Chains A and B, each alone.
Chain A
Amino acid sequence: MNRTFKFLIPLVLFFIAVGFLFKGLYLDPHEVPSPLVGKPAPMFQAPVLSDASKTFNSADMKGQVWLLNVWASWCGACREEHPVLMAMAKSDQIATYGLDYKDIDQEAQAVLDANGNPYKTIATDANGKIGIDYGVYGVPETYVIDKAGVIRYKQIGPITEEVLINKIVPLLKELQR
């Protein structure tokens, strides 16, 4: 009676397996979901780039939606991302703050002088300790932090225009409401 169906079972299983494998082609094994999304952003205080007399205190960010972009002058992918950050800075939709990760101040400043500075303020993390608290394992990484100081999104790798339009901008609209 179900003879006709039976020979289809392996075919169906085959297509299910193909479906999983096909999806797998588009997954990046380097994108490890962060356990920090949905949790309060770790508090930190750090000297400001090229102005060590000032201190950046993440507690001062309470009450506003902000972006923490972890970057470094030695990071190639950060250069790729840089124009997108510049466009965001120009559009004035969001305050982007930088965390200069394991970098030398002069070199970081030189990159900004040459290519423009998209950041409101840049905190320095010379020994990478703040990076560890944020679970940074590759630069660039970007955190969207809401008014209550909770991390709402983490971008691993450069922010592309696609990511900006499809993920970050809609999220910002929701958070800034």
Chain B
Amino acid sequence: MKKLLIIFLLISNFAFAGEAKPLGDDPALELRLKTLSQDLRCLVCQNTTLADSSAPLAEDLRQEIRKLMREGKSDQEVIDYLVARYGDFVLYKPPVNESTALLWFGPFLLLIIGGFVLFRVLKKHAGNEDIQAEDV
């Protein structure tokens, strides 16, 4: 009876292992896919990475990336493949180009303007200390 139970457990275990196999065949490739897709945006649910999204399109794209990687494509080639189809929007880190220039350099521009204004105000106040005192 005990033996039978053990055999039964073993068999059911095997069956289970066969069913729940979430990863692809190649763990190294899965790791590469995961690392790369964490920097890519899913277009269906836009605040989710391609790695985390459960949208059907994300699943299709992961499958497509797996295929490209198996064909020996580099990470950059995979990224280029996606950008050619979906645009820069798939990248979580936008590239520097004319349409994103304001995004990248805007903060520095504001910093310079702010610094300039501050400098002017301070200088003016330093020169007009007497008037300041009078005002108060």
Contact = CB atoms under 8 A, between A and B. Distances in A.
B51 interface: no
A137 B84 CA distance: 14
B87 A33 contact: yes
Contacts, number: 38
Contact of A135 (B46, B60, B87): B87
A128 B60 contact: yes
Interface in A1-51: 29-30, 32-36
A137 B61 CA distance: 10
A33 B86 CA distance: 8
Chain A interface main SS type: loop
Contact of B44 (A35, A134, A135, A137): A137
Interface in B61-92: 61, 64, 83-89
B57 interface: yes
B83 A102 contact: no
A89 B117 CA distance: 61
A128 B83 contact: no
Contact of B46 (A29, A102, A128): A29
B87 A137 contact: no
Contacts of B85: 35-36, 132-135
A25 B88 CA distance: 23
B83 A35 contact: yes
A138 interface: yes
A135 B56 contact: no
A138 B61 CA distance: 14
A132 B46 contact: no
Contacts of A133: 85
Nearest to B86: A135
Contacts of B64: 129, 132
A102 B57 CA distance: 10
Contact of A137 (B57, B83, B88): B57
Interface of B: 43-44, 46, 56-57, 60-61, 64, 83-89
25 contacts: A29-B46, A32-B43, A32-B86, A32-B87, A33-B89, A34-B86, A34-B87, A35-B83, A35-B84, A35-B85, A35-B86, A35-B88, A36-B85, A127-B60, A128-B56, A129-B64, A132-B60, A132-B64, A132-B85, A134-B85, A135-B86, A135-B87, A137-B43, A137-B57, A138-B44
